[in-house]
Structure 1
Amino acid sequence: MSARLRVALVGLGWAGRRIWLPRLHEHERYTVTAVVDPDADARAAAGAPVAVASVEDLDPALVDLAVVAVPNHLHSPVAARLLARGVPVFVEKPVCLSVAEADRLAAAEREGGAVLLAGSAARYRADVQALLGLAAELGPIRHVDLSWVRAHGVPAAGGWFVRREQAGGGALLDLGWHLLDTVEPLLGPVVFDQVVGTVSADFVNDHSRRARWKDVGDGAPGPLAAGDVEDTARGFLVTDRGVSVALRTSWASHEARDVTAITVEGGAGTAALRCTFGFSTNRQESSTLVRTGRGVTRAVPVPGEPVGAEYSRQLDELPGLLADPARGGAAIGRAREMIAAIERLYDSARSAGRAPELAGAGAGHGR
């Protein structure tokens, strides 16, 4: 067995504690040697050999990989500081909040000679992998429909998630990053020629619509912070090869269940996946995948797996990606295209007068 990677977990909020720390401890390829968080109690509870308040206090010689799971607005600054010091970084989505941040990350990667790897687990789900395999049989792909609609799921962890200054945006940036990350495996590298979007915020400050699963095991829920981001976004994008992509993301809605749906339309047929991304307890009971062609629809078997298995599967892949010299610049390049599209969706909503006060990522960066 290959040597274990020494990992520093940076950020001990909900994602750090609930997603990454237990999976890193369980995985045979990793040893958590350090944690970084400004909260002394959180550091003590993590039980790592080294516990520091800032990445500046982290010794690069003791770390093979830093997993960055801090609030959104700190993703890029923290990752850039680590990269510039020669520490390889795996950063949670969203990797960056603007094209300018992506460019600074690319510069830090070159300066430090360390690679950045991007966190976005959706493509590692077993049902998404089954969809990708089926999509390869559909001939030329003409359209992709991406939707993640929660019945209730406004994140209020610490309040920062609904504040534009710290989160960078709302449901579009949060859920849309996962959805848009499935486009490249379907279509290959894409450039969007046309982008139009709209946003709304009917539920973001409704306490009854908060993400209830984040309260489990974390004590009594705190007050819902006043939010200034969108809870719903809709967009339509067209690639430079003429493939259209429809996008909807909703933290809350009038639906009964939280459902993620991806439909791929090709010249030889259509494939449709219905499931629930993420950790919601109000989820679709199981994933379903169907293929339709010439008026006939048939079910395609989908492997079952525990909720969150995609995050463990992503950890399986990281050592190989980290060892690949060709990975330099690849993740940042993809992240740059992703945030450019998201910026343009927000810009479209703002320029057309659709809830301009809720335009999140890319504010002030017209494209």
Structure 2
Amino acid sequence: MSVRTAVVGLGWAGRELWLPRLRAHADFDVVAAVDTEPAARAAFDAALGVPVHPTAGALTAEDVDLAVVAVPNHLHAEVAGALLGRGVPVFLEKPVCLTAAEADVLEAAERDGGATLLAGSAAPHRGDVAALAGLVPDLGHVRHADLSWIRARGVPRAGGWFTRRDEAGGGVLFDLGWHLFDTLASLLGPVPFTQVVGVTSSDFVNAAAWGAAWRRDRPEAAGAPGDVEDTARGFLVRADGISVSLRAGWASHEALDVTRVQLVGSAGTAELRCTFGFSPNRHPASVLTLTREGTTTAVPVPDEPIGDEYRRQLDGLAAALKEPGSRGRAVGEARTTVRVIEDFYASARSAPARNDVPAGRWTGENP
């Protein structure tokens, strides 16, 4: 039996990522949508042939089995929490929450409503990441991970909510960085971080020439200048002793967008070079290598369509809804991620100032 699904939010993610894949997937039946904008509701009401509501309050556990929430970051905890509290299961893509306090709100809503929160990011569901995971046993004791996702030109929606700290929570660290943290957790397990040093910069965020034109965002009235970071660089240590170098950038002077995941172990080093996401400025192909005792060997990776990881993410979603062990897992993993991001921003704020753009949302308290 298909999962009766509502899509909450018809912006880029809801419109481009989730609606077409949900409608094409045998496990899901899109029965409703939600958007606060009258123009979006009018456009999709006819196109979808299902009710398009102005608020998520119209959704009940009697009418839908799952709500896919694709609203701006600052509304994630509020909208998902309200749905969970009414007994409506929710799928929420990264960032699940913007603070540890919001994680507490989601945990309470999941418990009080008796509904399950499912969450995650698509990157760990890529075929090349799965191939990298298959090499981990060959590496011996993993000592270090080097993670980077650097775009050539890819500041999202310049002047929109993505670049405003009060609505996005932060900049590239919440956007691309969350994917990198989730990928690391999928490869080596979701382990907390005990040491975090990070710096941020914002050289590109307010320059239109560095925007991600390929995103096809809705036109938006010019707003206040962006006040988030477009680049984050850090060095971190996990509770299991594994060190992590991280770099995320919405823009750079590179010609192509390149993602790099390198795992260094006592018995070998594995490295994946590819491009996460949908940018057309891509690394030509995913390249996975294993290096041992001076010899580097290419490892085959599947050739898959761009964005297929989002379809694959849906493949296990219906089954996860029925698993008792799913409840509480997403909040626990999100709390680990948001805490390291909070610590990263706290470290960045303590560094000597190099510009006047603050680094992400910070509550003044470290968990």
Q: Give TM-score scaled by structure 1 length.
A: 0.95
Q: Which residue pairs with 1:249 in the alignment?
A: 248
Contact kept, 8 Å, 1:32 with 1:48, in 2: the verdict is: no
**Following the alignment from structure 2 to structure 1, what is the Cα–Cα distance between the partners of residues 177 and 358?**
16
Contact kept, 8 Å, 1:9 with 1:66, in 2: the verdict is: yes
Q: Which residue pairs with 1:91 in the alignment?
A: 92
Q: Which residue pairs with 1:9 in the alignment?
A: 7
Summarize deviations over 1:1-26 as a string: whole Å, max 9, x none: xx000001000001100000011111
Q: Which residue pairs with 2:349 in the alignment?
A: 350
**Following the alignment from structure 1 to structure 2, what is the Cα–Cα distance between the partners of residues 306 and 197?**
34
Summarize deviations over 1:95-130 as a string: whole Å, max 9, x none: 000000001100000000001011301100000000
Contact kept, 8 Å, 1:4 with 1:31, in 2: the verdict is: yes
Q: Which residue pairs with 2:186 in the alignment?
A: 185
Summarize deviations over 1:235-277 as a string: whole Å, max 9, x none: 1110122110110000000111000000000111000000000
For residues 23 and 232 of structure 1, do their structure 2 counterparts lie closer, same or farther at Cα, with a shift above 3 Å needed?
same
Deviates more, 1:57-66 or 1:145-154: 57-66
* Structure 2 counterpart SS, 1:101: helix
- Map 1:303-342; keep pairs closer than 5 Å: 303-342=302-341
* Structure 1 counterpart SS, 2:30: strand
Amino acid at match of 1:341: V
- Map 1:1-367; keep pairs closer than 5 Å: 3-46=1-44, 47-156=48-157, 159-215=160-216, 226-354=225-353, 357-367=357-367
Shift of 1:152: 0.4
Deviates more, 1:349-358 or 1:184-193: 349-358
**Following the alignment from structure 2 to structure 1, what is the Cα–Cα distance between the partners of residues 174 and 220?**
24
Shift of 1:49: 1.9
**Following the alignment from structure 1 to structure 2, what is the Cα–Cα distance between the partners of residues 363 and 131?**
36
**Following the alignment from structure 1 to structure 2, what is the Cα–Cα distance between the partners of residues 158 and 348?**
26
**Following the alignment from structure 1 to structure 2, what is the Cα–Cα distance between the partners of residues 263 and 219?**
36
For residues 219 and 53 of structure 1, do their structure 2 counterparts lie closer, same or farther at Cα, with a shift above 3 Å needed?
closer
**Following the alignment from structure 1 to structure 2, what is the Cα–Cα distance between the partners of residues 210 and 221?**
14
* Structure 2 counterpart SS, 1:345: helix
Contact kept, 8 Å, 1:261 with 1:275, in 2: the verdict is: yes
Contact kept, 8 Å, 2:89 with 2:115, in 1: the verdict is: yes
**Following the alignment from structure 1 to structure 2, what is the Cα–Cα distance between the partners of residues 11 and 167?**
15
* Structure 1 counterpart SS, 2:134: helix
Shift of 1:225: 5.7
Contact kept, 8 Å, 1:157 with 1:214, in 2: the verdict is: no
* Structure 2 counterpart SS, 1:146: strand
Superposed CA RMSD: 1.6
Contact kept, 8 Å, 2:60 with 2:87, in 1: the verdict is: no
Q: Give TM-score scaled by structure 2 length.
A: 0.95
**Following the alignment from structure 2 to structure 1, what is the Cα–Cα distance between the partners of residues 53 and 256?**
41
* Structure 2 counterpart SS, 1:24: helix
Give the gaps of 5 or more residues in structure 2: none
**Following the alignment from structure 1 to structure 2, what is the Cα–Cα distance between the partners of residues 14 and 365?**
33
Amino acid at match of 1:365: E
**Following the alignment from structure 2 to structure 1, what is the Cα–Cα distance between the partners of residues 3 and 159?**
31
**Following the alignment from structure 2 to structure 1, what is the Cα–Cα distance between the partners of residues 128 and 313?**
14
Identity over aligned residues, as a percent?
58
Shift of 1:344: 0.3
Contact kept, 8 Å, 1:156 with 1:225, in 2: the verdict is: no
**Following the alignment from structure 1 to structure 2, what is the Cα–Cα distance between the partners of residues 219 and 347?**
33
Contact kept, 8 Å, 1:350 with 1:356, in 2: the verdict is: no
**Following the alignment from structure 2 to structure 1, what is the Cα–Cα distance between the partners of residues 37 and 222?**
20
**Following the alignment from structure 2 to structure 1, what is the Cα–Cα distance between the partners of residues 15 and 349?**
36
Deviates more, 1:3-12 or 1:49-58: 49-58
Deviates more, 1:201-210 or 1:154-163: 154-163
* Structure 2 counterpart SS, 1:176: helix
**Following the alignment from structure 1 to structure 2, what is the Cα–Cα distance between the partners of residues 124 and 350?**
33
Amino acid at match of 2:358: L
Amino acid at match of 1:34: A
